[in-house]
Amino acid sequence: MRIGKARSEVGAFIQNVHHFRDECLRDPGPPVEHVALFDEAQRAWDLKQTSSFMRRKKSIADFDRSEPEFLISCLDRHSDWAVVVCLVGGGQEINTGEAGIREWIRALNTSFPAWRIYISSRLTDSEYGAGAVLTELQSRANVITKDELHLSVSMRSFRAENVSHLVKQLLDLEVTEARHALDKLRGKYPIAITRDLPRAKLWLRDHARGSERYGIVVSSQAERLKPHAIDVKSPVDPVTWFLNGKEHVRSSYYLEDVATEFDVQGLELDWACVTWDADFRYGEDGWQNWSFKGDRWERIRKVERQMFQKNAYRVLLTRARQGMVIVVPPGDRADPTRNPNFYDPTFSYLKHIGFDSI
């Protein structure tokens, strides 16, 4: 089959959500579709981001709906029936304006009282951020909770679900649970921690077999890794980074160019090196969120930005199919922007959980 014909046949069943949105903006009638399936539904925009986009790109000055509310309203135009299916990745919101599953629930709860809602029993888990809006559903009729709506088996690898549990517990500071999750992975999914980036690179090369792909991933806010020849301001070409071979200087194999959470979201390596900067650091009161501005670190106070940063590390720590090594640099007492006190507690926390140190 020619590629053009294949694309045409696929296009008859699947279209970009933005095309669906634009058609509904142009035509006030009910759409052709009675069923809409939104993949990565947590990425739908909140009211502020949607209104800004409509004003700038569509010349609609007074748009007053979030993206989930508008998309549901399009299907609500049908007089008989319609179904909206949202596929949601927990803790995957990393971009400004991404509303998460909570906005879909809020929109249904406030604007569509007649709709039936079927939700997973696992939406109470912390990474979904549904929180208060779930409690608002308790007094609403036609809300059905089903365990089967949680897709517990990941396509990333047969070990991925246990890795996701471990990362969740690590980020939620649930030390005992994280230790148990780590014990389940021992002998099946190697994870090591180190203070030495060259040693981590050797670890990757020693563990990878044949064409198994490896690379370095870092937070987009990791701006004080420059002394380690890691510059997050130097963008990578994801196609080259993920697909080119070991002989190509810009491929992930070369361990020079690094990818951030934005480059690797939705994609995987076989083996990953997560290099951890002082933007997300462990302290006496738990995780601290920092942003490097000018020549110093500044504390992040906005709750939404703190969530995005935590989710960025969730993405980075769940990119490897086979195993990973985590590098927490030692810092440098001669450099106030890389004070060892910014890094040592994070490494100690990881060691306390029980990761093998190399």
Residue 181 predicted with pLDDT over 60: yes
What stretches of the chain show up as alpha helix (H) in DSSP?
A: 3-11, 17-26, 47-57, 67-75, 101-111, 131-136, 160-171, 175-185, 197-207, 238-243, 261-264, 303-316, 344-353
Note the pTM of the prediction, 2 decimals.
0.76
Parallel, antiparallel, or unpaired for β 286-293 and 296-299? antiparallel
Percent of the chain with pLDDT over 70: 88
Round the CA-based radius of gyration of the chain to a whole number and report it.
22
**Average per-residue pLDDT in the chain?**
88
Q: Report residue 238 CA to chain centroid gap.
A: 17
Whether the CB-CB separation of 329 and 338 falls below 8 Å is answered with yes
11 has pLDDT over 60: no
Predicted confidence band of residue 10 (pLDDT cuts 50, 70, 90): very low
Q: What is the mean pLDDT of residues 320-339?
A: 97
pLDDT digits (tens, 9 = 90+) for 184-239: 999 899 999 999 999 999 999 999 999 999 999 999 999 999 999 999 998 899 99
Residue with the larger pLDDT of the pair 339 and 57: 339
Is the per-residue pLDDT at 31 higher than 60?
yes
Mean pLDDT of 162-185: 93
pLDDT tens digits for range 111-164 = 998 999 998 887 766 655 556 667 777 778 888 888 888 776 655 555 566 898
**Structural domains in the chain plus CATH codes:** 3-149 (no CATH), 160-357 (3.40.50)
Q: Name residue, tokens 């000018």.
A: 294
pLDDT, average across residues 6-22: 67
Structure tokens at 281: 């650091």
Which residues on neighbouring strands pair with residue 274, listed in sequence order? 217, 326
pLDDT category of residue 8 using cuts at 50, 70 and 90 = low
Q: What whole-number distance in Å separates Cα of residue 144 and Cα of residue 326?
A: 41
The pLDDT tens digits for 284-326 are: 999 999 999 999 999 999 988 898 899 999 999 999 999 999 9
C-beta contacts of 158-163 below 8 A and 24+ residues apart = 159/185, 159/188, 159/189, 159/321, 160/318, 160/321, 162/189, 163/189, 163/317, 163/318, 163/320
How far apart CA 9 and CA 90 sit, in angstroms, is 31
